[in-house]
Structure 1
Amino acid sequence: MKNQLILFFFILFLGRLSAFAQEIVHISYEQGQTQVRINEQGELLVNVSSEDLNTFKNQGQLHYSDFGAKGDGKADDIDAIAATHAVANQLGFSVKADNSARYYISGKGRIAMIQTDTDFGMAQFIIDDTEVEDRTKHVFMVSSNLRSFDLEGVTSLKRDQQKLDVPFPGPCLVTVTDDNVRRYIRYGPNENDGSPQTDIFIVDKDGNVDPNAPIVWDFDQITEITALPMDETLLTITGGIFNTIANQAESRYNYHSRGIAIRRSNVLVEGLEHHIYGEGEHGAPYGGFLNFRDCSNVTVRNSILTGHKTYRTIGSAGVPVSMGSYDISLSRSINVSFEHCSQTNDINDPTYWGIMGSNFCKNLILDHVTFSRFDAHMGVANATVRHSTLGHMGINAIGTGTFLVENSTLNGRTLINLRSDYGSTWEGELIVRDCVFIPAGGRQSSASLIGGSNSGQHDFGYTAYMPERIVIENLHIDDSNHPEDYQGPAIFANFNQEMTDDSYVEKFPHVRSEEVVLKNVTIESGKELRVSDNPYLFRNVEIRNE
């Protein structure tokens, strides 16, 4: 290459729902040494010598040490790490960490963009969050070189619409918003005014909507609609032992990112570990060490994560609340699965928050995992938990479609909790097969299978439904530790204690289930399975024993 040739990388960083920040890496190929510098604007200036360029081409792989990383656990290596990935992205080379290295990463606001296969190996990464310049910036971002574009010619959509009559360059993720309609108007200590109606779905090059991830809302108006081309080649991220030194910030809702963001479709994360050290008496919550957004077909396999300590603050309603803090966070993501994964701390220890949270997702799968929680805040369309053990926070969800739980052990306060802050709504079917339910992880409790509540007086921005059909087959309820006045497990919790006869009027009716199918439900205490503490609510539900 000619001397003085400077190549510019324009790398987009997704900071908020619709805000992008730009980080520029200047790469030159000149005589002299391969080195990394920083200009007055804080941008990286990377020079690659001709000799080293030939070496890199021959090996087809880059190492962080090639660009000055010390790996001694003391020197700040984030600039060298970011530079390595920038050059690898330009040349199409993979990146390999040195197995014996301990890379120290300071709180500097630098993002390493990953667009090629990366093997972290047995290397350790020390992420120091005690002094963070910009808590919204991730340390690594797995990104695509494909860019989203505004979708012209689509002014409305219908629920379950099968086709968009516009051409696409190939398979795309389509995100659509109507700012005129508010959904998920939250109730309770963290009350809010809801979020704009949002949906995300997959289309092929002819505009056919993937029927496994259907459109779930009617859009009479569209204020924004974009399409993001999906990478069709698999990008792999393997290995790595990541150690977070926890932040010591004030305990309020100032979420820290500081992990690995995935903003690309068709990704495999294999064999990663994340540990947390130094959590004290106070700290800010985390928005996911693994943070997924605007992606599809992503698998996390054989990985170990860590639950965060629970801190408390004052919620929007002016009362104390526990803050959610996550090692896994998903938003606007489709077809994401966790396979053979676990967490380092006790899944039944309530001092640690549930490890996972999600919003606006479709087709989430936990398979052979040991986690403290599955959670869907602002809706999931279709979810599966199988061959897994879930801890003290169990399954918390609202959404649509089919929720399948099979061959699993559940330790939550209820078998499945329909989140009351979002109306305890599930529009579809719940299926539970071949499972064991240990109420409250074996602590003394009165067991209910389906938990939640809805007074019928709050507008959540949608009609709230209970599952139309519930199928429970081969379930063992270990309710051996129960209070003296225990009457036996209930199918439904008492969703509305005030509604005991027809004098109570629901301003926003909560649509009850139509049918419950039971087959081979065994109960450790020997008590009978009851409908509810409030049978009036469920007087019209057909209960069938098969």
Structure 2
Amino acid sequence: MTDRSKPSRMTRRGVIAGIGGAGIGLVHSTTHALARDAAADGAHAGLSRHLTVQAMKSTIVPREGGWAETLGFHSPGDGGAALYRIQRAGGEEVANEADVLALRDGFLAVLHERRAVNYKMFGAVGDGKNDDGVQIKLAHAYANRHQVPVVHLSGEFWIVRTNAIPITMPVQWGKTVFHIDERYNRRTAPRFVVQNDRPAKVLTDDTAFRDALLGKLKPGVQIIDELAPYAGHLMIVQDAEDRIGIRAGYAGNRGWAREELFYVEEEGRVLGDIAWGFRNFTSIRAIPCNDNYLVIQGGGFHFSGDTPQDSTPGYHQNGIAVQRSRTIIREQWMGLEPGRRDLSVEPRNGLYVLGNVYDVTLENIRAMPWEKSRRAPEQPVAHGTYGIGGARMLNCTFRNVTADAGWISWGVFGTNLNKNFRLENCRLNRVDVHFHCWNLSITDCTIGLKGISVTGGGELVVENTTRHGNTFISFRPDYGAKWDGPIRLRNCTLKPSSNGRVSVLSMRPSDFDYKYPIGLGTSVIIEDLRIDYAAAPTSGAECWLMDISPFSRTQTGQRLFFPHTLTFRNVTVEGRQQGVRLLRIADPGHYDVRRPGVCDDSWIQTNCILVCDKVQLEKTYPARPGDVAQVHLQIGGASPIEYADQRALVPKVIFTDCENVTIVLSGCAASAFLQRCSVNAFDAPDLRGELAFSDCRFQPDVRAAGPRFYSLDSTLGTRLTNCTIHAPIVDGKPAPEMVDRFGFVEINKSLRHYHLNTGLSREIVRHLKARGVKLTPEFVAKLKVNHELDE
């Protein structure tokens, strides 16, 4: 019987956890069974039993084909009990004093385990002095060669200088604890590597395949017939000569090669939305994905927190690199050694680093972010340092992962090229995708002080999630603050952590040529949002639902794309009285909504709808009518607006059930409809479009009065239905005598625009009676019905 040609019939494999009467009985019965099995196979029937490896080496009389069994490696019952086959030296096996032991007279004892191995079988000590990584690496190499799992459920081991421990077989670590000496972290070698045991295929030189793929790989593609032979592969294609994603603020940065990754199913079905089209491919790789799941379960990792020694500066590895698709890692704890602090001045790639993988899951894990922004005189880390990192990740899920900290620590997540990225029931201090996140889902999570920072596109969905900090999502300005796809926040909570400015969505790119289109999403929906100022109750700073740049076209002439739908619904504020504002759109004329919008002297066709429904707005106090510093919504600015073409922004604005509305629509093309709102200020100079107010209450509340409170002129007409005019409040005091400054009404003289059943508040009526002013029948008739064509 050879190691590979016949399955082992051994019935006792790694079951002795201790020694005693019952244990010895099991050893004896198993030994006899092993002897019978060996005899039945025609091998030498002799099997010797020894207390330890050292006892075996000193007492055994080796015979070719014999068997030996130990009750422990260093001492009986230490967990290293194992079975060995005796053979002569000189073949492929070389003594390593772990699974291959040197015996007298030129013989070797070769470990013979075919169900599972553990680290004690290879001589790991666990005394805090030995570099157990040496034996652990040999154990995994053995498990990989013989296709057996590693099962080690308890004990403590110290990994000092050892790196690149290979894993291709399932692992159960249970309560095992690993102590990692970070003085020996290295830039290119993680401590453990979950390896893909199937090599990638390079297809770049297949001209026919490359040309076919080049013609068909584009946004929206579902099936590419030529990909059918590569079902079960992760495809990564690049054009290194086409650089995109140039990073603003980093002189000399060359950005990224235009690149896509996707998974191929049967018949050439493409999984993973394609974002780009290509002019050429300089690299095509097909990475085989295993047809089974590798599970690594359990274990705890304690890190020393030291700066790496004898290594070049830069990002270092200290944990587990995952390079195999369909890998599941769960039930793990990672943190610092008791009493230690993170003192490293070099950044880390991550405790987990995922690269070139499809369908990987991390769940039930306690990770940690690392220190970066230390206060003087302590030395900060020069670059961002991460607890979880990676690039080229497709369909990866993180479930019940915890990694939170305060202001000194950096982000736990730092990834690039992360597609179909899912977070479920996690508590993390930061979620960060630098370049090209595509499809991000965050549900039932808590995100800490470092926030959510992304760029990319696809669907961005955040549900039932709490964010601690002053911005819910920050779209990275160094990569263009872009999101090319729908954005939806539902049933979430933002908890500002300081008295500074607050924004739910921050989308402020630099005026820079990023070499790809940038913009503010295809749609934005924020529903059932609660903003809780419990941690900053004295804050008087503004809170904006969207904070965007003042330009819609870069200096190089590139137009920013703009959402066709903006919906803000059921937004409430707790912990302070001050509500929220919506957004400022200073230059609508050069946005690209990607659909036509037209406004002429008789018709308006909008290409964007902006809905504000049941939103708790801030009570603003304009210094004067048209004060743009005190608005909830601003479209247009001081300069006349030139529209680039029909794809420029022409919005329909709908406000429903909102109080103290303050809007400026200056020189733009727009429709605005307000229903059941109180209107503090509305300034629409040179508006091309239409205005309609239904069941609204007009009451200006300003610091100082000007010649008029409202400017409601519009080229296509302004309509008021069932609205009420209330006495103005100027500098905190009612001023019913200023009702004639509304801009559309003069008592007993004129009424401008279309009116149906317009009313005067009782305060104004009482004021008129006190002044002896009686409303004329003609004026009352105008309040009931007034048509502009009658003027």
Shorter-chain TM-score bucket reads 0.7 to 0.9
The alignment partner of 1:284 has SS state of coil
Q: Which residue of 2 aligns with 1:24?
A: none
Flag the 1:401–1:410 CA change in 2: closer, same or farther, 3 A.
same
Q: Which residue number in structure 2 is paired with residue 254 of structure 1? A: 314
C-alpha separation in 1, matches of 2:382 and 2:485: 30
CA–CA distance in 1 between the matches of 2:133 and 2:308? 22
Please tell me the residue identity of whatever aligns with 1:141: V
Which structure has the highest strand share of the two? 1
Aligned to 2:269: 208
Q: Which residue of 2 aligns with 1:13?
A: none
Q: Match for residue 229 of structure 1?
A: 288
> Which residue of the other structure, out of 212, 216, 223, is the alignment partner of 1:163?
223
Given that residues 429 and 467 in structure 1 are in contact (C-alpha distance below 8 angstroms), is that contact kept between their aligned partners in structure 2? yes
Change (3 A) 1:311 1:528: closer
Distance 1:300 1:536, change over 3 A: same
1:338 to 2:375 alignment: no
Give, in angstroms, the shift of residue 217 of structure 1.
1.2
Supply the distance in 1 between the matched residues of 2:179 and 2:527 (Cα, whole angstroms): 46
The question of whether the paired residues in 2 share the 8 Å contact of 1:338 and 1:369 is answered with yes
Q: Which of 137-146 and 186-195 deviates more?
A: 186-195
Aligned positions of 1:498-517 closer than 5 A: 499=551, 507-517=557-567
Aligned to 2:477, which of 382, 407, 420?
A: 420
What TM-score, normalized by structure 2, do the two folds share?
0.58
Q: Aligned pairs, how many? A: 493
Q: CA deviation at 1:65?
A: 1.0
- Runs of at least 4 residues off by over 4 Å: 32-36, 44-54, 249-253, 277-282, 482-485, 537-541
Q: Are residues 1:543 and 2:595 paired?
A: no
Query: 8 Å contact 1:454–1:510 — kept in the other structure?
Result: no
SS at match of 1:302: strand
C-alpha distance 280-167 of structure 1, shift in aligned 2 (>3 A)? closer
Confirm whether residue 88 of structure 1 aligns to residue 143 of structure 2: yes
| 2:118 corresponds to | 63
Aligned 8 A contact 1:451 1:495 in 2: no
Structure of greater Rg: 2
Correspondence for 1:434: 491
How many angstroms does 1:292 deviate by? 0.3
Deviation at 1:528, TM superposition (A): 3.8
- The structural deviation recorded for 1:451 is 0.7
Q: Which residue of 2 aligns with 1:404?
A: 461
Structure 2 residue aligned with 1:306, among 354, 363, 368? 368
Residue 184 of structure 1 and its aligned partner are, at CA, apart by: 1.3
**Identity between Structure 1 and Structure 2 (%):** 26
* Equivalent position SS for 2:281: coil
Provide the rounded CA distance (Å) in 2 between the counterparts of 1:177 and 1:312.
39
Is 1:287 aligned with 2:344? Answer: no
Inter-partner Cα distance in structure 2 for 1:95 and 1:73: 22
Gaps of 5+ in 2: 6-83, 592-607, 614-791
Which residue pairs with 1:192 in the alignment? 253
Q: Which residue of 2 aligns with 1:25?
A: none
Matched, 1:149 2:233: no
Contact 1:260-1:290 at 8 Å conserved across structures: yes
**Could you tell me how far 1:144 is from its partner in structure 2?**
2.3
Aligned residue for 2:238?
177
Q: 1:169 to 1:444 in 2, by over 3 A?
A: same
CA distance in 2, matches of 1:435, 1:253: 41
Structure 1: distance between partners of 2:134 and 2:277: 46
For 2:220, what is the secondary structure of its paired residue?
Answer: coil
Change (3 A) 1:191 1:509: farther
- 1:78 aligned onto 2:133: yes
The code of the aligned residue for 2:505 comes to I
Query: AA paired with 1:527?
Result: Q
Deviates more, 1:380-389 or 1:188-197: 188-197
Alignment of 1:129-140 (within 5 A): 129-132=182-185, 134-140=186-192
Task: Give yes or no for contact 1:136–1:257 (8 Å, CA) kept in 2.
Answer: yes
Q: Secondary structure at the match of 1:66?
A: helix
**Partners of 2:362 and 2:251 in 1: how far apart?**
31
Instruction: After TM superposition, give the deviation of residue 527 of structure 1 in Å.
Output: 3.0
Structure 1 distance, partners of 2:527, 2:172, is 43
Secondary structure (helix, strand or coil) at the match of 1:161 reads coil
Counterpart in the other structure of 2:700? none
Tell me, yes or no, if the aligned pair for 1:312 and 1:323 is still in contact at 8 Å.
no
CA–CA separation in structure 2 for the residues paired with 1:322 and 1:544:
44
Counterpart amino acid of residue 298 in structure 2: G
Contact 1:295 1:334 in 2 (8 A): yes
Correspondence list, 1:264-413, <5 A: 264-277=324-337, 278-279=340-341, 282-310=344-372, 323-343=383-403, 345-346=404-405, 349-413=406-470
Residues 245, 484 of structure 1: alpha-carbon distance in 2 compared, 3 angstrom cutoff? closer
SS of alignment partner, residue 421 of structure 1: helix
Aligned letter for 1:474?
Answer: D
Mapping 1:106-145, distance limit 5 Å: 106-108=160-162, 110-132=163-185, 134-145=186-197
Letter in 2 for 1:522: T
1:189–1:505 Cα change, 3 Å: closer
Find the residue that maps to 1:72 and give its secondary structure: coil
Sort the Cα spacing of 1:537 and 1:392 in 2 relative to 1 into closer, same or farther, 3 A: farther
